[in-house]
């Protein structure tokens, strides 16, 4: 029989908990998927009783839940699970109070969600262990970013490993909770149409884009010391890349899937000072207009005036040195203050070696486009005859939608709902293993080192565009262009 767990959220009054975690947990309650969850215990540094926290949670949920999902009866059941206890990360006495609260419950195990600064992860785990509230049934969830480079990542991982075994450690990346990202497994390995053509014989290039309209105001010194490469590429984009490029796993178990992802990360060709100029573009947004509104440039923002070595945009060309993908460039792109918010994967297929159609334009290639946000969908770009009575056959592009939105709309969910549900059930499939995170950092560190050695400049782009023109040239050298 499945055991219940208490979920303890460190940083339970913070922005992530308020906007994402508590709404996701409420939705699990609403969909009758919270049967394994006993209590939700929020911790914070503020003096507050549980009644006050529950009232605050109610107000926040009514603000951040999707329209039409609030239900008084569901709230009543959900609020019965909520409790609050004051915990300072380095105060041993506070952990004693938490231990007493956990002992008063009936759940045999606890799931600790660390929605705090990563620099606190080691101390929190040490204090939990010292308080005697970590046992074989305990698990821990770690939010990104896990470190600032390989060395700091290894340090955090080692501190956590002193208390929690690897099979009890869940490193979260919310991109892996998106329905369409998970659907990559079904698309690739469940369809004879696509699986045989998922290799360098048929695929000419792969693009992964995560574009954001928002700037970085409100993120304080974090972004000034981080930049787009560390913030987005190291986790989100490399995780998506590994799912796109991995070999078929032996089974759908977490270990087998993560083994194949690791092989991809190990096969990434290093970007060094010898090739960094040809493989990467750094950018930073200047003043411009987004959504019809004038916005400041990055260095004009209050917290970033001195961050003149921080990029808000990065585009790069990655090569995977293995039999399946040799010769196929993977283009990664992400940035702030771009023209629109969207994330997508584009699989571009090779053109036929010979065309019967004299007017066959170069840009009319077959593409499989996997949209991750704001809408999740999959479409196949093909060509057919342009209607008309002319004597010559002329081609036109046609987009075939492979997602039945009418069926799936009611089943949509936020990524944190899936990831929290899996963590509660102990399923690590969509979470990152220690060696994955550290291997990704090793690749990213080589890029940063190459930038420093070459004094790679940061190119300016106007807010509201799709980044510096150099990112267009990055693909044009290979005869390609970004899918817009």
Count of other CB atoms within 10 angstroms of residue 271: 23
Joined together, the tokens standing for residue 321 give 């040195």
Helix (H) or strand (E) holding 39: strand 37-44
57 phi-psi bin (left φ>0, alpha ψ -120 to 50, beta other): alpha
Q: Across the strands, what pairs with 344? A: 209, 371
- C-alpha to C-alpha distance for 371 and 342, rounded to whole angstroms: 8
**Is 442 marked as binding a ligand?**
no
| Catalytic site residue from 148, 236, 401, 483 | 236
Helix (H) or strand (E) holding 399: strand 395-401
**Is 149 marked as binding a ligand?**
no
Helix (H) or strand (E) holding 372: strand 367-373
236 part of the active site = yes
Contact assessment for residue 448 and residue 186, using Cβ atoms and an 8 Å cutoff = no
Greatest CA span in the chain, whole angstroms? 86
462 Cβ contact list (under 8 Å, min separation 6): 285, 286, 287, 288
Contact assessment for residue 360 and residue 350, using Cβ atoms and an 8 Å cutoff = no
Helices 150-161, 434-454: axis angle to 10 degrees equals 160
Find where tokens 């940061």 sit: 458
**Is 45 marked as binding a ligand?**
yes
**Is 144 marked as binding a ligand?**
yes
Contact assessment for residue 436 and residue 255, using Cβ atoms and an 8 Å cutoff = no
Q: Across the strands, what pairs with 5? A: 37, 109
**Is 337 marked as binding a ligand?**
no
DSSP track, 194-220:
TGGG-STTTEEEEEEEEE-S---TTSH
**Is 367 marked as binding a ligand?**
no
CA distances from 373 to 197, 244, 341, 356 (A): 25, 17, 8, 37
**Is 282 marked as binding a ligand?**
no
Q: How many helices (H) and strands (E) does the chain have?
A: 17, 17
Return binding residues for substrate.
Answer: 174, 178, 212, 231, 336
**What residues act catalytically?**
236
Residue ranges of the annotated binding site for NADP(+) are 45, 144
Question: Residues comprising the binding site?
Answer: 45, 144, 174, 178, 212, 231, 336
């Amino acid at each position: 029989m499945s055991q219940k767990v208490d979920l303890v959220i460190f940083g339970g009054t913070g922005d992530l908990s308020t906007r994402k975690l508590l709404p996701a947990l409420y939705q699990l309650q609403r969909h009758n998927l919270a049967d394994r969850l006993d209590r939700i215990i929020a911790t914070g540094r503020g003096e507050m009783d549980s009644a006050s926290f529950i009232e605050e949670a109610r107000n926040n949920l009514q603000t951040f839940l999707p329209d039409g999902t609030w239900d008084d009866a569901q709230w009543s059941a959900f609020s019965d699970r909520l409790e609050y206890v004051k915990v300072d990360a380095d105060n041993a006495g506070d952990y004693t109070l938490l231990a007493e609260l956990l002992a008063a419950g009936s759940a045999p195990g606890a799931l600790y969600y660390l929605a705090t600064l990563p620099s606190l992860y080691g101390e929190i785990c040490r204090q939990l262990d010292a308080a005697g509230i970590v046992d074989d049934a305990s698990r821990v969830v770690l939010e990104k970013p896990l470190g600032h480079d390989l060395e700091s990542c290894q340090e955090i991982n080692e501190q956590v490993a002193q208390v929690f075994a690897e099979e009890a450690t869940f490193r979260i990346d919310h991109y892996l909770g998106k329905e369409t990202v998970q659907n990559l497994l079904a698309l690739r390995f469940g369809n004879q149409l696509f699986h045989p053509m998922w290799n360098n014989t048929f695929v000419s290039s792969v693009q992964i884009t995560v574009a954001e309209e928002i700037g970085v105001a409100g993120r304080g010194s974090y972004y000034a010391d981080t930049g787009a490469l560390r913030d987005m590429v190291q986790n989100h984009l490399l995780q998506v890349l590994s799912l796109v490029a991995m070999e078929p796993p032996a089974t759908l178990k977490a270990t087998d899937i993560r083994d194949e992802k690791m092989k991809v990360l190990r096969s990434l060709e290093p970007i060094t000072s010898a090739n960094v100029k040809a493989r990467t573009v750094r950018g930073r947004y200047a003043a411009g207009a987004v959504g019809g509104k004038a916005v400041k440039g990055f260095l004009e923002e209050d917290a970033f005036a001195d961050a003149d070595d921080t990029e808000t945009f990065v585009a790069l060309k990655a090569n995977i040195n293995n039999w399946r993908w040799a010769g196929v460039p993977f283009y990664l792109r992400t940035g702030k203050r771009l023209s629109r918010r969207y994330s997508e994967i584009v699989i571009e297929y090779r053109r036929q070696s010979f065309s019967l159609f004299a007017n066959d334009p170069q840009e009319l290639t077959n593409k499989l486009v996997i949209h991750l946000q704001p809408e999740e969908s999959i479409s196949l770009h093909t060509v057919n005859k342009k209607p008309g009575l002319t004597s010559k056959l002329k081609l036109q592009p046609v987009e075939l939608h492979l997602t039945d939105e009418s069926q799936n709309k009611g089943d949509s969910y936020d990524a944190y709902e899936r990831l929290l549900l899996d963590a509660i059930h102990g399923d690590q499939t969509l979470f990152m293993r220690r060696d994955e995170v550290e291997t990704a950092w090793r690749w990213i560190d080589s890029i940063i080192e190459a930038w420093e050695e070459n004094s790679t400049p940061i190119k300016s782009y106007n807010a509201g565009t799709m980044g510096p023109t150099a990112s267009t040239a990055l693909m044009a050298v290979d005869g390609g262009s970004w899918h817009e």
